[in-house]
Amino acid sequence: MSKLGDLGARLHRGEVGYDFIGNRKIWYGLSILITITAIVALAVRGLNMGIEFQGGAVFTTPKSEVSVSQAQEYAEEASGHDAIVQQLGNGSLRIQVGGLDTSQSDQVRSELAKDLNVPEDKIAAELVGPSWGEQIANKAWTGLGVFMILVVIYLAIAFEWRMAVAALIALIHDLTITVGIYSLVGFEVTVGTVIGLLTILGYSLYDTVVVFDSLKEQTKDITKQTRFTYSELANRSINGTLVRSINTTVVALLPVAGLLFIGGGVLGAGMLNDISLSLFVGLAAGAYSSIFIATPLVADLKEREPAIKALKKRILAKRAGAAAKDESPDGTDESYADEGEIAVIGPRAGRHGRAPEHRG
């Protein structure tokens, strides 16, 4: 068995683990900082909306010796508007100019043919109206709203309302970070971006639901034992599915990274860039939120329940009594059970690097 596989097996059995729940304030603070940065970027810089949303013309030229910067200069001189130029994989150019009507588009096309020294009939021109982009945006918002409502209902039925709330907060967290990245780096928002954003919603929920399912199983009849608190079982659930979450995320990110860095960067495929960037950022944010945000939020919400509060109080009192007995001159050490001891990775490890575990 590989070292990673051996670690995964030990995490699943609860032999080792990292205290994710105990350090949740660190993760909350980090997420709040990133989210605030994303919101400020959106407020100050806004989004670089593509031509599909603001209207205009798209010109596709044949292969030309003219550089991207020179073609952009030609397009802006011919149209009087800002232009975005992308070089495609076959050496052709994709020129986007906003705010053009049909007559202006024909004039710009003619000027570009002269400047680029290519036949005018070889330049493909496509007009895009802003109403089309507005319809796409409205449908995307509608789809997003319906999706979130259905997710909350399903999770509330399959698990409980606290998990539904935590998953919803994690989803909003992932979307905000992804959109904020677009604002910070200035990437153009196109229909491909919208498709990518809607796609990551399912990926963002995948790891979250896996952890929630493990947590639901481990906390069944939790009040009938006095061995673990809810937070401790939540921590065991995260650790038990950690390697699986890492593996699935890496496997999902690899092809997306190929689309982003090879398909978009090397081949110059614009639509691939639009979809793959949102997928790449969203997948990474979703993996983070399922481990560091969603499950700790469930633990915080759950431990507000009177029954779970009382359970935690009983467990802590039992451990305090066991510790006092262990420290007495003639006491016997029953603070640590031989079976199922957990070695905690990190600064919160107990005596001899093991976390206390008590017989219920």
Per residue in 251-305, pLDDT (tens digit) is 888 888 887 777 655 555 556 677 788 888 888 888 899 899 999 999 999 999 9
How many other C-beta atoms are found inside a 10 Å radius of the C-beta of residue 44? 9
Rounded to an integer, the average pLDDT of 327-351 is: 45
- pLDDT of residue 133 exceeding 90, the answer is no
Find tokens 């009087």 and name the residue.
Answer: 80
pLDDT in tens, 86-113: 777 667 888 888 777 777 888 888 888 8
Identify whether the C-beta of residue 194 lies closer than 8 Å to the C-beta of residue 267. no
Phi, psi of 159 (to 5 degrees): -120, -95
- Give the whole-number percent of the chain exceeding pLDDT 90: 19
Q: Looking at domain 3-49+132-307, does it have CATH number 1.25.40.10? A: no
What is the pLDDT at residue 339?
Answer: 36
Separation between Cα atoms, residue 280 and residue 357, nearest integer Å: 40
User: pLDDT category, 3, cuts 50, 70, 90?
Assistant: low
The mean predicted confidence, pLDDT, of the chain is 79
Grouping H, G, I as helix, E, B as strand and the rest as coil, residue 129 is coil
| pLDDT score at 31 | 93
Read off the pTM.
0.74
Residue pLDDT, tens place only, 44-64: 988 888 777 777 888 888 887
Structure confidence at residue 14 as a pLDDT band (50, 70, 90): low
Domain ranges of the chain: 3-49+132-307, 56-128
> 56-128, what's its fold?
Alpha-Beta Plaits (3.30.70)
2, amino acid identity = S
Q: Which of 200, 215, 217, 332 has its CA nearest to residue 277?
A: 200
Cα separation, 228 vs 35, in Å, equals 33
Helix spans in the chain (H): 3-13, 24-44, 51-54, 68-79, 102-116, 130-158, 161-185, 191-218, 230-240, 242-257, 270-289, 295-302, 306-327
pLDDT digits over 307-332, tens only? 999 999 999 888 888 887 766 555 44
Alpha carbons 142 and 146: distance in angstroms, whole number? 6
The residue whose two tokens read 């079982």 is 233
Using pLDDT thresholds of 50, 70 and 90, give the confidence band for residue 25. Answer: very high
Pairwise pLDDT comparison (130 vs 291), residue with the higher score: 291
- pLDDT above 90 (res 165): yes
**Quick one: which of 166, 169, 173, 172 has its CA closest to 34?**
173
Token reading at 16: 């080792």
Query: Which of 149-158, 197-206, 339-348 shows the lowest mean pLDDT across its residues?
Result: 339-348
Residue, of 338 and 241, whose pLDDT is higher: 241
CA distance 29 to 36: 11
CA atoms of 328 and 307, how far apart (whole Å): 32
Q: Work out the number of other CB atoms within 10 angstroms of the CB of residue 202.
A: 11
DSSP 120: G
Pairing mode, if any, of strands 83-87 and 93-98? antiparallel
